[in-house]
Structure 1
């Protein structure tokens, strides 16, 4: 097995060669994938740029002739991904690294995101001190800021690159001394304003022999859960907090995309879904909220997070969307409605208390879901222990009936 290094050898050959040397000095095998398009490689690769282009269904000559940087980066990302996936499936890839600016960061992390959680992934990048979400996505990618541009070897770049290489060695050679007990695994979604519900439900399920993985419903959290469902890591879902759909529909910053709620439905695993934090849309600092929302109701969660109350009209639309998502389920599915409020802020005396808006959400869900979706309604808010335990109990029943319970 080898550590794969993905890099543009026409511009970063010296730096990637140094990375390879540090790894090999530690007894680690290395496989270099060249993703450079314009010039000749500065060191000899194990997989050539031409082979990368071919893996993407094109040729290096065509990419050079077209001279479209965006098209070339996309193609080399696809090719590097195909090669990395093939090596992983064959048992030839132990970890993956990349070095570069925005171009190779995009290429290398595309390949990294295609590999399973747990495979060591490390990107040394000039982009690591900014918005890394486009590169990291919902995967366990470690990003190390290069401090200076990755252009030549000097006292600074040698130290940063060597640290990165040794960090990769550490991940490969130090097996964690952790006992792993095989248990059916439940994915749970949580937000700050639904934390009591998630904690109570998690305790209930763990007492009955399940392992739980809690996902923070911040967009990437929802995408991570969807991905792990498709990979077979998660056996059942307690989707308490579907707030990411409010951001997707209204235009907040913590959306998980239009595929949120699809994975459990398509794979047929048991799921119990609720309406946690659908009373809010998330933005950054107050001054970052688009002007079109100036007349709306806000709650300043902290200096970096501004919450905006959803309206009755928006909630009605959201109810229809989520209801249709549930109708597509191929496995046992329940919808749990907390009639007393969908978050800590949506209870009497708090900023987002709005029974009319909640009623619009609940009415739309009732009107949309098919008869085979089990409906649970309780006159409590979402964070009441009784509501949390009812959802967990229902999911446990589904898991036991499906033969995937403890």
Structure 2
């Protein structure tokens, strides 16, 4: 349990007692700066401050709330990561308002995917992405402020404690029963609505060969999640069909996965087959949210909340260069599949974004900069043609086989 025992001590004591009544052992990390804890923690706030690069005396004398939150955020994350390395964490719970949520979320994000993580927060009904990131963090809206135990908060905090207990006890039960461990090799696929036919066929072909497939929706968070799971060692090969997040990063759309997209597989050295799915578009919200500087561009209303903007030839040439140079730094077995007939359901014959010049610019940008030893397979069909999907699946299977033999 991670939280401020000076201002939320009564609530943490209640949840601690509920968890212990379920038969769980608790370990409490205090992040409170303002005063003394309501009960003795296992890790003091002073220890957290030191782990964050400061001291309790400095934080209190400085009277700077922002700095105090930043220090305790770093410290909580460092301590949680160390406890996990020691194998001491079965699940984590945090509670708080904006500051408490920020501090606890940093610790939860420092833990591997799969460890139960629950965050009871006053801000859980709003934009939760800063707190969840790409980790499997469950956020529960507290409805009322976390300030005292009353008729409503008692029910909500009890639900939170029992939810975490259920997740932890399930894991213990599976271990006791000797539940079968899934020994399938896990692969990743990136997909968008406009590349669904290709991704679906590739997934089915690979599943038929006994692989476990994780499909990531290329909406920024999806790409980040895949990169994170690659770095964590979960994913052993990638069919990176839909690299559209690179376009949003370049042009300024809402689905950017950050500057590090398309780098984890290369660094990890796992086989990857890469294509150019949905690089014909940049994503925005409703029409009124599109920046005015783009008003003369070509748009397609994908749905009421998603507006797609056609990428230009110049942008495609730059995207080709970016994609090629990312792959050039790769230490992984890599194949590129380029569908000359179109890169999405919109960029094909008679489609809303049909663009032979844009595709040619994308091809030239990639071809000019791609490392000579990286194979680039050109297909006359569009990306959603079965022939393209078959090539992508077949190439990845070949790379996986070579890696296995090697």
User: Under a length normalisation based on structure 2, what TM-score does the superposition of the two structures give?
Assistant: 0.96
1:377 aligns with 2:373: no
Q: CA deviation at 1:83?
A: 1.2
Q: CA deviation at 1:179?
A: 4.6
Q: Residues 258, 59 of structure 1: CA spacing in aligned structure 2 closer, same or farther, 3 A cutoff?
A: same
- Tell me the equivalent position of 2:196: 195
Residue among 113, 116, 128 paired with 1:117? 113
Residue among 79, 101, 104 paired with 2:100? 104
Q: CA deviation at 1:354?
A: 1.2
1:41 aligns with 2:37: yes
Paired residues for 1:44-55 under 5 Å? 44-55=40-51
**Are the counterparts in 2 of residues 184 and 404 from structure 1 also a CA contact under 8 Å?**
no
Paired residues for 1:225-240 under 5 Å? 225-240=226-241
**Are the counterparts in 2 of residues 276 and 342 from structure 1 also a CA contact under 8 Å?**
yes
- Tell me the equivalent position of 2:297: 296
Alpha-carbon separation, structure 1, partners of 2:182 and 2:155: 39
Q: CA deviation at 1:174?
A: 2.1
Aligned to 2:404, what secondary structure does the other structure show?
coil
**1:24-57 Cα shifts (integer Å, max 9, x gaps):** 1111111111111122222221111000011122
- Tell me the equivalent position of 2:320: 319
**Are the counterparts in 2 of residues 241 and 275 from structure 1 also a CA contact under 8 Å?**
yes
Aligned to 1:42, what secondary structure does the other structure show?
coil
Alpha-carbon separation, structure 1, partners of 2:322 and 2:34: 46
Alpha-carbon separation, structure 1, partners of 2:88 and 2:47: 17
- Tell me the equivalent position of 2:6: 10
- Tell me the equivalent position of 1:349: 350
Q: Residues 179, 348 of structure 1: CA spacing in aligned structure 2 closer, same or farther, 3 A cutoff?
A: farther
Alpha-carbon separation, structure 2, partners of 1:294 and 1:12: 50
Q: CA deviation at 1:69?
A: 2.2
Stretch moving more, 32-41 or 224-233: 32-41
**Are the counterparts in 2 of residues 189 and 198 from structure 1 also a CA contact under 8 Å?**
yes
- Tell me the equivalent position of 2:85: 89
**1:97-138 Cα shifts (integer Å, max 9, x gaps):** 100011111111111111111100000001110000111010
Stretch moving more, 209-218 or 137-146: 209-218
Paired residues for 1:2-401 under 5 Å? 5-175=1-171, 179-401=180-402
Stretch moving more, 174-183 or 27-36: 174-183
Alpha-carbon separation, structure 1, partners of 2:291 and 2:34: 41
Alpha-carbon separation, structure 1, partners of 2:342 and 2:170: 47
Q: CA deviation at 1:281?
A: 0.9
Stretch moving more, 306-315 or 137-146: 306-315
Alpha-carbon separation, structure 2, partners of 1:113 and 1:370: 36
Q: Residues 140, 215 of structure 1: CA spacing in aligned structure 2 closer, same or farther, 3 A cutoff?
A: same
Aligned residues: 401
**Are the counterparts in 2 of residues 123 and 143 from structure 1 also a CA contact under 8 Å?**
yes
**Are the counterparts in 2 of residues 33 and 48 from structure 1 also a CA contact under 8 Å?**
yes
Aligned to 1:80, what secondary structure does the other structure show?
helix
Aligned to 1:76, what secondary structure does the other structure show?
helix
Alpha-carbon separation, structure 1, partners of 2:265 and 2:376: 17
**1:247-296 Cα shifts (integer Å, max 9, x gaps):** 11111111110000111111111111000111111111111111111111
Stretch moving more, 176-185 or 265-274: 176-185
Q: Residues 137, 250 of structure 1: CA spacing in aligned structure 2 closer, same or farther, 3 A cutoff?
A: same
Aligned to 1:213, what secondary structure does the other structure show?
strand
Alpha-carbon separation, structure 1, partners of 2:360 and 2:381: 14
Alpha-carbon separation, structure 2, partners of 1:118 and 1:352: 40
Q: CA deviation at 1:209?
A: 2.1
Q: Residues 239, 70 of structure 1: CA spacing in aligned structure 2 closer, same or farther, 3 A cutoff?
A: same
Q: CA deviation at 1:349?
A: 1.6
Alpha-carbon separation, structure 2, partners of 1:169 and 1:78: 26
Q: Is there any run of 5+ residues in structure 1 with no aligned partner, and where? A: none
